Amino acid sequence: MRHRDALLPWGAKVWKCFFIQLSVLLLSYAPATAQNVVLTGALSGRATDQSGAAAPRVRVIVRDIDTGVEQSTETNDTGFYRFPALAPGAYSITAALKGFRDAEGLVQVLVGNLTVQDIRLKLGTGKDSVRVSGQSPLLQPAEVSVDSVLDRPMIEALPLNGRRYTDFTLLTPNTSPDGDTGLISIAGQQGGEDSGYANGNGSNAFTVDGTNATSNYFGDILGRYRIPYLYGENAISEFQVAIGPYSAVYGGGAGFINSVTRSGSNAWHGNAFYYNRNSAFEANDSISNANGYPKQQDSLHQFGASLGGPILRDRLWFFVDYEQQRENDPISIINPALTQLQSNLSTNFGIPNGTVLPAPNAPYPVPGNNSVPDAANPAYLQQVSNAINAINSNLGIAPRQKNDVVATSRLDYQATSRDAMFLSFNVNYFNSPGGIITSSPVAVYGKQTLANAEVHDFQVSLGWTHAFSSKVLNEFHAGASDDNQIATPTGLAPNMPTVILDSPASFTLGNAPFSVGRVFEKQWSVADRVDYVIGKHTLQFGFETNRAFDADTNFGGADPNADVQFGSLLGSYEFSNLESFALGQYNLFSQASGNPVFSFHVPFYGFYAQDSFRPVPNLTLEIGLREDFQVYPQPLENPAFPLTGQYPNQFLRLAPRFGF
């Protein structure tokens, strides 16, 4: 490798200058969501001779099987060696010392994990095999944190209906579904709707290639549960699920899902796939059968392709992935309390059962001069007919489509023997006419309320690892992301306000407050970590900053995810029962006004120091200290009460860590 390094001094300098300028640029922003930048794994062990005595100054070389990149170090006086930052994957390992036979073997390094491989050298010449499997180890005895890693062979071998790779998290211990929207609870943690840093123990934390992939606004993964996935399953190399990690390197929520995208290698590799699921091969569900609805004509098409390989062998590699889903997924609106209104006119509308009603002549009841139910009044009977028609036309099966396109690319560059860099991009575009509600069946919202949903996501990650020596290593990372959540009305009731029925069952008609809105979040992040190996200790020092900008634009007068109806610009009418609905006698009216845009900036900071110490071969101790905090935006001040403009920020939130 050295002969190639000599050919690229100018290119290496350009890359270094580029990263220095980039770090200055990103640090010029007020920093924001402290995250968990864990992109690599570690390999360590102890070399001994046949008697079990420590073997110092043994040269240990690891070589990435896919890319051919080599790293080397020497054991210290106690025979200890460590590679603090290796890209996840399979490595060959060679140990050599004059007067002893070389030891060779294979070892698997997992993201966020410490793999221990002790080496025993024998006197003589030639080579010996190190007894170690190239497969992912089931147990990591030196790993202090409670976590699981799902690598590429496992991701490829396990079936996955929707290709949302984070669903594999449910295969790991102490995880469970959180509701029916796709959220995941880790160690009893709430799956979303909370910022993990706002309260110290909120939602789970998601990272991809070291960049924060958690929505600070919603507390879920970017794109939330509405999109099939943020990254395609084909683009993920492996991911780590950590439960209450003890290492100070980790911050945020109790659950941590850390993903790494695939890289190219010296060998060309690629694939293409197509999957189809169709209602022609399925039976009707029991709920639709019970309500007399025919089998829904749904279909799901999943297709895509990936390609990876060398641009410069042993130097520069690329990987690209394209995946798309097209789904026709009708939604059922079923409310048993509202399905037989005309057969019970006495209870619902205060007129005798069997009363003949005229044909409806308007989409909704029109308020008139009637103050009480009157079966002899044709005007009231017309209102009853219109009320029943308004409800019935909002029940049944409504069309819903989903189209998701995701493209991922990654470049890896071994600039010199001491410098490794990567750059990854991900773009996701999701469009779902009538898909604002993802579950089915739905009981409380009519067809008119089912707004269109769009999600646009973009994420970029940059990483630079520089080895000052075999004992000192620095990892720099920068990233940015955009998350756009958009809701637009379907146009079924363009001028209708929100109409809420309280009894005999809750039901909403017209344009719901969540049918018009946009939540936009932009994040920038910078992180740096230094690893220093001294004796039996591995010291880690790092900082992480993240700046989040959020803007909620909602013309409906309510947060798109709120459970409380606050009215809309068209107004919101609430009726206590069907009789008052037919009479036009609403018991509550509300209407939004003012600026529909709410925006704010939130900076997050994280600092940590960590010592991993292996006093004896079968014991690893980790001692650390971490500080995480965010700077809350200050509210508008009421001049009569100045304290209303001050929200206290707590900056001293030290969290000691200890594990073994």
Task: Give per-residue pLDDT as tens, 212-222.
Answer: 888 888 878 88
pLDDT recorded at residue 38: 75
Q: Name residues whose C-beta falls within 8 Å of residue 384's C-beta, 6 or more positions apart in sequence.
A: 345, 349, 351, 357, 365, 582
CA torsion sign for 341, 343, 347, 350 is positive
CA angle centred on 342, ends 336 and 343, rounded to 5°: 80
Indicate whether 241 pLDDT > 80. yes
Task: Write the pLDDT tens digit of every residue in 158-183.
Answer: 888 888 888 888 888 878 777 776 77
For 641-652, letters b (16+ CB in 10 Å) and e give: eeeeeeeeeeee
pLDDT recorded at residue 134: 43
Lowest mean pLDDT among 25-34, 263-272, 557-566: 25-34
Range of the domain at 360: 340-392
Q: Which amino acid is at 142?
A: A
Calpha distance 34→461 (Å, rounded): 15
Domain-embedded: residue 361:
yes
Q: Six-digit token pair at 29?
A: 């922003």
Task: Write the pLDDT tens digit of every residue in 293-336.
Answer: 677 777 899 999 999 999 999 899 999 999 999 999 899 898 98
Nearest by Cα to 426 from 236, 255, 274, 252: 236
Concatenated DSSP letters of 496-520: --EEEE-SSS-EEEES-GGGSEEEE
Pairing state of beta strands 183-186 and 572-575?
unpaired
Concatenated DSSP letters of 568-592: BTT-EEEESSHHHHHHT--SEEEB-
Q: Six-digit token pair at 358?
A: 């005229």
Domain-embedded: residue 114:
no
Cis peptide before 504 (omega within 30 of 0): yes
Q: DSSP letter at 337? A: G
Q: Six-digit token pair at 629?
A: 């905090």
3-class DSSP state of 378: helix
Residue 244: alpha-carbon gap to chain centroid: 18
Q: Which amino acid is at 323?
A: E
* Residue 560 pLDDT level (bands cut at 50, 70, 90): very low
* Residue 143 pLDDT level (bands cut at 50, 70, 90): low
Domain-embedded: residue 99:
no
* Residue 254 pLDDT level (bands cut at 50, 70, 90): low
Kindly list the strands in the beta sheet with 597-616, ordered across the sheet, starting from the edge strand earlier in the chain. Answer: 269-278, 299-312, 316-328, 401-414, 419-432, 452-467, 472-488, 517-534, 537-553, 597-616, 619-630, 654-659
Concatenated DSSP letters of 69-92: -EEEEE--TTSEEEEEEE-SEEEE
144 or 86: which leads in pLDDT: 86
Q: Six-digit token pair at 216?
A: 């600070």
Using the structure block, give the residue that is written with the tokens 């300028």: 21
The pLDDT mean for the chain works out to: 81
pLDDT recorded at residue 244: 65
Nearest by Cα to 103 from 67, 129, 72, 131: 129
Domain-embedded: residue 98:
no
Q: Six-digit token pair at 94?
A: 């060679």
CA torsion sign for 433, 436, 439, 445 is negative
Pairing state of beta strands 119-120 and 41-48?
parallel
Q: Name residues whose C-beta falls within 8 Å of residue 594's C-beta, 6 or more positions apart in sequence.
A: none
Q: Bridge partners of 422?
A: 412, 463
- Residue 153 — φ and ψ, nearest 5°? -60, -35
485 burial type by CB count under 10 A (0-12 exposed, 13-18 middle, 19+ buried): buried
pTM here? Answer: 0.79
Domain-embedded: residue 372:
yes
Domain-embedded: residue 151:
no
3-class DSSP state of 382: helix
Indicate whether 34 pLDDT > 50. no
Calpha distance 5→9 (Å, rounded): 7
Nearest by Cα to 125 from 99, 103, 107: 99
Q: Six-digit token pair at 307?
A: 């390609």
Q: Six-digit token pair at 104?
A: 């060779």
108 burial type by CB count under 10 A (0-12 exposed, 13-18 middle, 19+ buried): buried
Calpha distance 330→328 (Å, rounded): 6
Q: What is the mean pLDDT of residues 232-244?
A: 85
Domain-embedded: residue 278:
no
CA torsion sign for 219, 220, 225, 226 is positive
Domain-embedded: residue 418:
no
Q: Bridge partners of 457?
A: 428, 483
Task: Write the pLDDT tens digit of every residue in 106-128.
Answer: 898 888 788 888 888 888 766 65
- Residue 154 — φ and ψ, nearest 5°? -70, -40
User: Is residue 105 a contact partner of residue 129, using CB atoms and an 8 Å limit?
Assistant: yes
Which ranges in 292-397 belong to alpha helices (H)? Answer: 345-349, 378-392
CA angle centred on 503, ends 499 and 507, rounded to 5°: 40
* Residue 524 pLDDT level (bands cut at 50, 70, 90): very high
pLDDT recorded at residue 286: 74
Q: Bridge partners of 631?
A: none
In angstroms and rounded to an integer, the radius of gyration of the C-alpha atoms of the chain is 30
Calpha distance 207→424 (Å, rounded): 13
The number of distinct structural domains making up the chain is 1
Indicate whether 389 pLDDT > 90. yes
User: Is residue 213 a contact partner of residue 285, using CB atoms and an 8 Å limit?
Assistant: no
Calpha distance 117→120 (Å, rounded): 10
